[in-house]
Structure 1
Amino acid sequence: MKSTLKHQNLSELINRELADLNLPEEPGQLYEPVRYTLDLGGKRLRPYFTLISCGMCGGEVQEAVPAALAIELLHNFTLLHDDIMDAADTRRGQPSVFKKWNSSTAILSGDVMFAHSFEQLQHYGKSARYSKKQYATIMDIFLEAARTVCEGQAFDLEYAARTDVTIDEYLKMIRGKTAALISGSLMLGGAVADVDAEKLELLRRIGQQAGTAFQIQDDLLDVIADPKKFGKTPGGDIIEGKKTYLSILALQQGNKEQKTFINNVLAAQDIATEKVTEVIDLYEELGIVEKTNNAIEKHYAKSMELLDQFPESDYKTDLINYFNKLKNREF
């Protein structure tokens, strides 16, 4: 019998299952940061996508729980390591593991989360309900997502020292850093439901479009969002000198003087608040905010268009509603 769990039930299920993870008490230096990280919360959109995709594909949603936990553990593993690479003091408005403990602890705790993510997927290898081929498909999707995230992060590091990064290169980077796990989440749900390769590819494309929109939107919110809701300092990406959709577009469209100014601010070690404000004002002057909004709308619209190829169901409706919620988010 297919599960009929609805959106609220799925969110509650994810949080309950994460809280009930069978993590050892010792060594405390290893597992306390893991529990701390998971307790910080977050949108939990990746495990939600895994569960909702399974239901949309006609599978038993409860059976997708191990895959949902695996993708959320993988996501949090990447965050721990990202904070080390970025020397980030905060995560979700609280001290990062890197800041609260140290880089060695953050590396090790991230690594054990990675190991526990694979432990979750063992459910499909051990259960008689799943064929060897289906288990291999689930593992292939998960491994590809993990590898692609690393590739996206490597592109991010490579682009940091460059001033000539193009929009196409940026999109390639975020398809790895952000979209890969969203695509992987949807594909895992489909794989648990045992859909064919054509449906899995469709889920991948939906995730790529939605994930691309999600990251561009994060770039935009860094500039325009209410910091109390967003949990970050306005213009934080500018202060950190990050390559974002907005900064790259501004560098492509600004005049020589404007480009020099933006590059100098992004390269500076200690940026005055007024300089950050000037860059944001320049984004408005060049129409970058409007163009970024248009790009977000385009990618979400494409994900919806692809989603239309699935038959009507409560799960599909919930996923459409969730995409609309993401599109209108303020943090």
Structure 2
Amino acid sequence: MAPTNLQLQLQTLIAEGLNELDIPKEPASLYEPYRYSLDIGGKRIRPLLTLLACGLCNGKIKDALPAALAVEILHNFTLVHDDIMDSADTRRGKASVFKKWDQNIAILSGDVMFADAFTHLEYYGLKSDFSKSEYLNVHQTFTQATVTVCEGQALDMDFVEREQVSHQEYLKMIQGKTAALLAGALKLGAIAAHATSTQQEALFNFGMEMGVAFQIQDDLLDATADPEKFGKKVGGDIFEGKKTYLTILALERANESDSSFIQQVLDSTQPSQTDVDKVLDIMHSLNVIDDIAEEVNQHYNSALHELDDFNDSEYKHELKNLLIFLQNRDH
């Protein structure tokens, strides 16, 4: 999807805000990795959502920028620490902080990013336009999003060691790991616009539904997408033995024989193409693929419905187009 003029304007504001961050130079081992993690890019979707939400609620975009920067810094902090937990050598095509420096430096730089993210929220306590209750709301929303992301990550790690995971538990995990910060970013934009509690809740729900839909859709595309577009072969998650929404639901629905076979393939260090294809066939026979595709659409449609009561504007149009683009993506 080609960026619109509005999107380019908001992304420019975000980029300028990040470039103007007053990140100290010393100690270099602490702050160089901080700046590096921001400079290696990313889609900046979370801060963009904060600014779009503010505009949707007729707020001043400049009032949402501190929250947008806080959200982006927090997101990058989680990536720095995720790479440590995953022993990941790369991030966005470049060496991860963990790889470029070392584990101790990555931990400490992540910690200072986390702390610095909160300093940007001070704007709402210092500016007379914002009430004490709004300032408190900003902090509570940001803190709760952080806690929920950590809970989601913890569940994801727990699931690796557990033999059985229910699809309800998996949904709770992605609500935390993927959706919570999207939802929090949108709500922060609404608060920055002095929006009503109803508008704040609608935008929070919009983010939750969008985040859940996106993650389930990612799992689905692994089994259905064109491998040349998706970047990996069909059934890649099965080859890697990952617990996904598809494999979890298939295990819940399968008879004892099929369930045992699916688990055997997932546990195998080098499953054959034939075995992976058979797992995919089982998923189709159990209507797992079709039902999950329908569930993805339900989540996207629920997100779209949350925008119904907002006045028409370029911001609403932007959010709707983003949803439609995500819903129709094939990789």
Q: Secondary structure at the match of 2:270?
A: coil
- For residues 261 and 94 of structure 2, the distance between their equivalents in structure 1, rounded to whole angstroms, comes to 32
Structure 1 position 181, deviation (Å): 0.5
1:44-63 equivalences under 5 Å are 44-63=44-63
Contact 2:222–2:237 (8 Å) recurs in 1:
yes
- For residues 236 and 12 of structure 1, the distance between their equivalents in structure 2, rounded to whole angstroms, comes to 36
Counterpart residue type for residue 97 of structure 1: V
Structure 1 position 15, deviation (Å): 2.3
Structure 1 position 286, deviation (Å): 4.3
Between 278-287 and 50-59, report the one with greater CA deviation: 278-287
- For residues 231 and 123 of structure 1, the distance between their equivalents in structure 2, rounded to whole angstroms, comes to 42
- For residues 100 and 106 of structure 1, the distance between their equivalents in structure 2, rounded to whole angstroms, comes to 9
- For residues 94 and 141 of structure 1, the distance between their equivalents in structure 2, rounded to whole angstroms, comes to 32
Instruction: Show structure 1 runs of 5+ residues with no match.
Output: none
Structure 1 position 219, deviation (Å): 2.1
Structure 1 position 28, deviation (Å): 2.8
Contact 2:222–2:235 (8 Å) recurs in 1:
yes
1:206 alignment counterpart: 206
1:94 alignment counterpart: 94
- For residues 75 and 233 of structure 1, the distance between their equivalents in structure 2, rounded to whole angstroms, comes to 29
Q: Secondary structure at the match of 1:307?
A: coil
Structure 1 position 209, deviation (Å): 0.7
2:21 alignment counterpart: 21
- For residues 238 and 109 of structure 2, the distance between their equivalents in structure 1, rounded to whole angstroms, comes to 29
1:143-154 equivalences under 5 Å are 143-154=143-154
Distance 1:168 1:57, change over 3 A: same
- For residues 21 and 150 of structure 1, the distance between their equivalents in structure 2, rounded to whole angstroms, comes to 25
Contact 1:93–1:232 (8 Å) recurs in 2:
no
1:271 alignment counterpart: 270
Distance 1:234 1:99, change over 3 A: farther
Distance 1:285 1:296, change over 3 A: same
1:175 alignment counterpart: 175
- For residues 9 and 175 of structure 1, the distance between their equivalents in structure 2, rounded to whole angstroms, comes to 30
Q: Structure 1 residue 118 and structure 2 residue 82: aligned? A: no
Q: Secondary structure at the match of 1:309?
A: coil
Counterpart residue type for residue 114 of structure 1: F
Question: TM-score, normalised to structure 2's length?
Answer: 0.88
Could you list the per-position Cα deviations for residues 123-168 of structure 1 after superposition, in whole angstroms to 9, with x for gaps in the alignment?
Answer: 1122222222211111111011011111112222222222321111
2:140 alignment counterpart: 140
Contact 1:141–1:187 (8 Å) recurs in 2:
yes
1:219-230 equivalences under 5 Å are 219-225=219-225
Instruction: Show structure 2 runs of 5+ residues with no match.
Output: none
Contact 1:93–1:231 (8 Å) recurs in 2:
no
